[in-house]
Amino acid sequence: MSQEKKAVVLVSGGLDSATTLAIAQQAGYHCHAISFDYGQRHRCELEAAQHVVRRARVNIHKRVVLNLNEIGGSALTDESIDVPKHGSAGIPITYVPARNTVFLALALGWAEVLGAYDIFIGVNAVDYSGYPDCRPEFIRAFERLANLATRAGVEGQHFAVHAPLIHLTKAQIIQRGIDLGVDYGLTISCYDPDASGAACGECDACRLRREGFLAAGIPDPTIYQASSLPK
Amino acid sequence: MSQEKKAVVLVSGGLDSATTLAIAQQAGYHCHAISFDYGQRHRCELEAAQHVVRRARVNIHKRVVLNLNEIGGSALTDESIDVPKHGSAGIPITYVPARNTVFLALALGWAEVLGAYDIFIGVNAVDYSGYPDCRPEFIRAFERLANLATRAGVEGQHFAVHAPLIHLTKAQIIQRGIDLGVDYGLTISCYDPDASGAACGECDACRLRREGFLAAGIPDPTIYQASSLPK
């Protein structure tokens, strides 16, 4: 009998990570989900993460609490900075300094404890917000680091960091997820949802998501705030 | 007038990081200290960190709380695993999976917010416990990652990760610190101190520290638990 392949999957509650989890499961991995309660403004994504993980029948879901508000510097972790409601040139203010480095580092620590040598992250370098830590060169550099940083790496195991969405458009991601049975109605992408979790419809994340459903020709299950319904 | 050089220095409360802070200050950096409350068994090192930072007249000291107990896998973060009181072959059970990757990632995020492009960490590859994330190749790989992971890196700034102790023996580190006026009586290295902060005298960290003072010919200011005084 072949040994069970274990993976750690970063699940934010958004569309991309829900798709990534489905891809990892289809590839035969026994998935362990990890989510981060990092002081994000859009905390309701954590509840979405729980729904996504349950629906995928993943039994082990770790939620790590860490306070990135302490560090600040982003509209997502600093309440005094507004979430922009229109695209901007360059890297937007929703960029959270070193976020994916921190998240992957924590996922790596847990992966090493579990004996899971495959880590899945739903970053995307096509329809994305321009974050530096969503690029293929970042993922490759982290994978290299992971194998130098850990006991398992030193002892001859190889950690692989998988970013299966990295070269897909948002429409392709959605199509792939639909094929795999992902229920996107459970996911939340908005950076600035209201208290009920309804999406603002105007931030970068909403815009990319809405355009993705449109381009894929798939009905958008997102619940938008009444004030922001498409004109 | 030349621009002020800002640095972020990881300060644990131990001997190595206190020396690293003094080295960074002597090199002319305006230092910002960061410490991690990560669920370590030897939490009193955080109080030591505060004393070290105050004594060095560093005004900005950030303490980031994150719960690595959630991840476990180490005698330092899992109360059910005893701290070994004798040397062992290979990487010891006090290794905390991905710890320095997590700490450097958080330091990097803060550094980016501050506009500090120099990060100092007191890792040491000579008289150390055999941790993979204390080696020069790890530090170089992290520096490379830092410049790919961040907005500042993408926009042409260069993050440097300095590990000024990496090739020094413990005795050399202590000699260097004494020359710079470090008060090692404020520092705590022990992995398993008692409630008062007194050192066990027997764990790897105590052994390396005690041998370092002996080899440097400098009186050891450590307060040891009565039961563990040198025979």
> Is pLDDT above 90 for B43?
no
Does the residue A1 lie in any domain?
no
**Between A130 and B23, whose confidence is greater?**
B23
Which of A104, A106, A129 is best to mutate for the B interface (most B CBs within 10 A)? A106
Q: Residue B149: which residues within 8 A CB-CB, separation 6 or more?
A: A98, A100, A101, A132, A133, A138, A141, A142, B108
Would you call A101 and B68 a contact, using CB atoms and an 8 Å cutoff? no
> pLDDT tens, B163-206?
999 999 999 999 999 999 999 999 999 999 998 889 999 998 99
Confidence at A20, pLDDT banded by 50, 70, 90: very high
Mean pLDDT confidence for A19-27: 98
Is A165 contained in some domain? yes
In one-letter notation, the amino acid at residue A85 is: K
Amino acid residing at B101: T
**CATH, residue A75:** 3.40.50.620
B34 exposure class (CB count in 10 Å sphere: 0-12, 13-18, 19+)? buried
**Using CA atoms, how far apart are residues B72 and A71, in angstroms rounded to an integer?**
24
Please tell me the predicted confidence (pLDDT) of residue B1. 40
In angstroms, the separation between the Cα of residue B141 and the nearest Cα of chain A is: 6
Nearest of A129, A73, A67, A76 to residue A102 by alpha carbon = A67
The Cα-based distances of B68 to A31, A101, A212, B104 in angstroms read 20, 16, 37, 15
Q: What's the pLDDT at A1?
A: 40
User: A129-140 pLDDT, tens per residue?
Assistant: 788 999 999 999
pLDDT digits (tens, 9 = 90+) for B56-78: 999 899 999 998 888 888 888 88
Tell me whether residue A191 is exposed, middle or buried, using C-beta atoms within 10 angstroms of its C-beta: 0 to 12, 13 to 18, 19 or more. buried
Specify the range with the lowest mean pLDDT, choosing from B39-43, B216-220, B221-225: B39-43
- B101:A145 CB<8 A: yes
Q: Report how many domains make up chain B.
A: 1
In the predicted model, is pLDDT for residue B33 greater than 80?
Answer: yes
- A142-198: pLDDT as tens digits: 999 999 999 999 999 999 999 999 999 999 999 999 999 999 999 999 999 998 889
Would you give the distance in Å from CA A144 to the centre of its chain? 21
Whether the predicted pLDDT of A231 surpasses 60: no
- Which chain A residues are within 8 Å of B102, Cβ to Cβ? 102, 105-106, 109
- B48 lies in a domain? yes
In a domain, B210, yes or no: yes
Test B109 with A101 for CB contact under 8 angstroms. Answer: yes
B1 is a domain residue: no
Which position has the token pair 């072949």?
Answer: A2
Average pLDDT, chain A: 92
3-class DSSP state of B108: helix
| Cα B69 from Cα B75, distance rounded (Å) | 10
- pLDDT of A170: 95
Q: How many other CB atoms are there within 10 angstroms of residue B62's CB atom?
A: 17
Name chain A contacts of B153, Cβ cutoff 8 Å.
132
Best residue of B74, B106, B119 to probe chain A, by most A CBs closer than 10 Å:
B106
Q: A68 lies in a domain?
A: yes
User: Would you put residue B88 in left (φ > 0), alpha (ψ -120 to 50) or beta?
Assistant: beta
Q: Please report whether residue B218 resides in a domain.
A: yes
Residues A101-157: pLDDT tens digits?
Answer: 999 999 999 999 999 999 999 999 887 678 899 999 999 999 999 999 999 999 999
Which range marks the domain in which residue A146 is found? 6-228
In the predicted structure, residue B228 carries a pLDDT above the cut 80: no
The closest CB to that of B66, out of A66, A100, A108, belongs to: A66
- Chain B residue numbers touching A99 (CB-CB < 8 A): 109
* B193 occurs within a structural domain: yes
* pLDDT band, very low/low/confident/very high, at A59 (cuts 50, 70, 90): confident
Which tokens hold the place of A87? 């695209």
For residue A10, the 8-state DSSP code is E
Q: Other C-beta atoms within 10 Å of A192: how many?
A: 21
| Order of strands, sheet of A118-120, starting from the edge strand that comes earlier in the sequence | A61-65, A30-37, A6-10, A118-120, A160-162
Backbone angles phi, psi at A200, to 5 degrees: -75, -25
Tokens 């700490």 locate to B103
Q: How far apart are CA A146 and CA A91, in angstroms?
A: 26
